[in-house]
Amino acid sequence: MVSPRFVYSLYESRLQKRLPKEDLPNHIGLIHDGHRRYARRENLLSYEVSYKIGMVRFKECLSWCDELGISYVTSWLLSRENLLRSEEELETYFVVLNELFEELIIDDLVDNFKIQFIGSTDLLPDYLKETITRLQEVRGGGEKTLTIALGYGGRQEIIDAIKSLVIENKGKDPEGLVEEINDEQVREHLYLPDAPDVDLVIRTSGESRLSGFLLWQSTYSEFVFQDVYWPEFRKIDFLRCLREYTQRERRFGK
């Protein structure tokens, strides 16, 4: 009897070979949703178990992106709204994140990635902030870029960009400043001024909304909403997302 794993492997290989490389996205945004619902469905002992499984999937997904030559990956691992959860639940998640970041410091999986963070990282525990600092120092170079969004909110990013722009132009005539402000000036004050706009946003767990993810940068993004929870997200699911993306006609509002 042929094993399901073997069949999936053949299907994955076939899918990947048929993807037109020239049409693959340059920048992918990932919303890793569904850890808690997965834990409840599977009757896991705690959310910590599903979080750890999710981080394994996170690293696997990075390897898939690297293999396919995707240059920019932005992963939303914690929203500003998530910070309103109970202290006990947050601490569990923070510990798992810290373990992940410590692994990324030494893991050759991310040798090709520069790693950077966006969001309100100042609201995170000190030990997590220290690990983030070390990770960015060690992984400060690479031909590809991994951006991890922690304590991130799209509205807050735009608010911060406008504040920064106003402060930079302090002393200018307000009416003149209003007339001068344009898309490019605002973009220069976003968290990722040098990153290209997101081509494809993938969200797992069946939720069909952005929830504020990269609002400015995703204006002309394509969206694929997967029904599976992030801890069960497979390479075959990822390849299907890419296949759907390559089959779409991008018009950029035209």
Q: pLDDT digit string (tens) for 137-146?
A: 999 999 999 9
Q: Is there a domain that residue 132 lies in?
A: yes
pLDDT category of residue 1 using cuts at 50, 70 and 90: low
Neighbouring-strand partners of residue 145: 72, 114
pLDDT of residue 30: 98
Calculated CA dihedral for residues 42, 43, 44, 50, nearest 10 degrees:
40
More confident residue, 178 or 141: 141
In 3D, which of 212, 65, 91 has the Cα closest to residue 144? 65
Residue 180 lies in a domain: no
CATH number for the domain spanning 110: value is 3.40.1180.10
36 within a domain of the structure (yes/no): yes
Residue 106 lies in a domain: yes
Query: Each residue of 206-247: pLDDT tens digit?
Result: 999 999 999 999 999 999 999 999 999 999 999 999 999 999
Q: Coil, helix or strand for 114?
A: strand
Residue 145 three-state SS: strand
Strand 72-76 versus strand 222-225 pairing type: unpaired
**Position 126 in a domain:** yes
Query: 46-96 pLDDT, tens per residue?
Result: 999 999 999 999 999 999 999 999 999 999 999 999 999 999 999 999 999
* 27 found inside a domain: yes
Write down the number of H helices and E strands in the chain: 9, 6
Sign of the torsion formed by the C-alpha atoms of 157, 98, 211 and 69: positive
Could you tell me which residues come within 8 angstroms of residue 59 by beta carbon, excluding any fewer than 6 positions away? 100, 103, 104, 107, 109
In a domain, 109, yes or no: yes
Q: Which residues constitute the domain of residue 148?
A: 22-152+197-208+222-232
The answer to the question of residue 112 being in a domain is yes
Specify the number of domains making up the chain.
1
Segment 9-36 shows an average pLDDT of 93
- Looking at every residue in the chain, the average pLDDT score rounds to 93
Confidence label for 171 from pLDDT (cuts 50, 70 and 90): confident
| pLDDT band, very low/low/confident/very high, at 160 (cuts 50, 70, 90) | very high
Hey, which residues are catalytic here? Answer: 33, 82
Q: Tell me, what amino acid is at 172?
A: K
253: pLDDT strictly greater than 80: no
